[in-house]
Structure 1
C-alpha cells in the first residue's frame, strides 16, 4: 500500500458569489475547497492536490488530479510485488467506500477501516496545528489559498521529520514530488 487517499473540505466564506454554486455541496453549510491527499501511517503527506470545486465528490477529484499521471504515461517506477502466491503489477492506495459489507469480509473491513484512519489523522493534524485552515477562510484569491495550504502541509512534514517520527527520515529523492494545485 502506498498510502491512504482521501479528500477533505475547507470552508470558503469569501467565495465570490458567482462561484458559490460550483463550490457548494448539499452536505456542507456553504462553499468549500477540496484537498485531495495521500498520507502514510506516520501522517506524512506524500501527495496533495488542492483547489477543486467543493461541489465535487472524491471520485470526481481524481480525474484532474496528477496522482496517476506517471502510471498512465508509463514512466512510473516498478512497484510490482507478490503476496500469498499472487503477483501484482502495481501497488495501491487505500480509499474509503470499497469494503464489502457482508459478514464473510468482516475481518478485512475492520483492518481496512483502521488503516484508513491514517489520512483522517493527517487531516486532523493539519487542522489542530494551524488555526488558519481550521476555520473558514476569508481570502478571495485562490493563489493565496493554495499557498496557505501548501505551506501548512510542508510545515507538517518538516515537523514530522524534525521530530524523528517520519518513516522517510533522512531519505530524500533528488526530485521531490511537487504539491499540486488545481487551476480554476
Structure 2
C-alpha cells in the first residue's frame, strides 16, 4: 500500500510504502513517518488565518476514516445543511488530486500495476519510490510544478541538540497538540465558512 500526498500539479510531496494492502489507512498512517518532524518539533512553521481564526499548523485533506487531528481536515459523510454540503463538494474535489497522481503513475509505468509477489518488500519499495522520484522530475521538467522545489530549504539544516528527557517531553507535548479535537473542529468550521462565502462560479458556455 502506498501513502502519498499530492497537490493539484500532480507533484507528490510525501510517499510512504510499507504495510500490505490488507491494512487500512489508519494502520498505514501510524506506520509512516509523515508526522515525525512535527512530533519532534522540527517541522517548518506554518501559520495562517481562516475566517478570522489563526492556526499554527498546516493541514492535509483526508477522508472520513482518519482521526480528528489538527493536521487533518475531513469531509462529512452525511451533510445536513447547504454549508456542509458545499464544503463536502469542495473538499472531495480537491482530494481527487492524489487519485489523479496514482493514475498517472500507473499510466507511465506498467510495473506499478503488475503483480509483485515474486519481489521482496525492499525491492518493491525501491521500485515504487523510484517511480515517484522520476514522476516528480517529469512534472518539474514540463514546467507544471506550482512551487519549484528549492534544495537550499533542506540543506545545511542544524537540528537542535536535546537530551532524552527533552525529546520525550517535546514529543508528548506535540502529540497532545496533534490530537486536539477542539482545534480540529475549529479549523473545519472556519473552512466551512470560508468556502460558503466564496463567490459562486458562473457557468461557462
TM-score band w.r.t. shorter chain? 0.7 to 0.9
The residue matched to 1:52 in structure 2 has which SS? coil
1:159 Cα deviation after fit: 0.3
* Greater displacement, 90-99 / 148-157: 90-99
Give yes or no for contact 1:38–1:46 (8 Å, CA) kept in 2.
Answer: yes
Residues 139 and 145 in structure 1, CA contact (< 8 A), matched pair in contact too = no
**How far apart, in 1, do the equivalents of 2:149 and 2:7 lie?**
16
Do residues 102 (structure 1) and 82 (structure 2) align? no
- Counterpart of 2:99 (choices 114, 120, 137) is 120
Query: Which structure has more helix as a fraction of its residues?
Result: 2
Q: Which residue does 2:15 correspond to in 1?
A: 48
* Bigger strand share: 1
Q: CA RMSD in A?
A: 1.5
TM-score, normalising length: structure 2: 0.66
- 1:89 counterpart residue number: 56
Which ranges in structure 2 are unaligned for 5 or more consecutive residues? 65-73, 156-205
Alignment match, 1:74? 41
Aligned residues: 143
Contact 1:39 1:47 in 2 (8 A): yes
Query: Which residue among 151, 154, 161 is the counterpart of 1:172?
Result: 151
Q: Equivalent residue of 1:156, what SS?
A: helix
- Measured in 2, the distance between the counterparts of 1:99 and 1:164 equals 32
The runs of 5 or more residues in structure 1 that have no matched partner are 1-33, 177-184
What's the TM-score once normalised by structure 1's chain length?
0.73
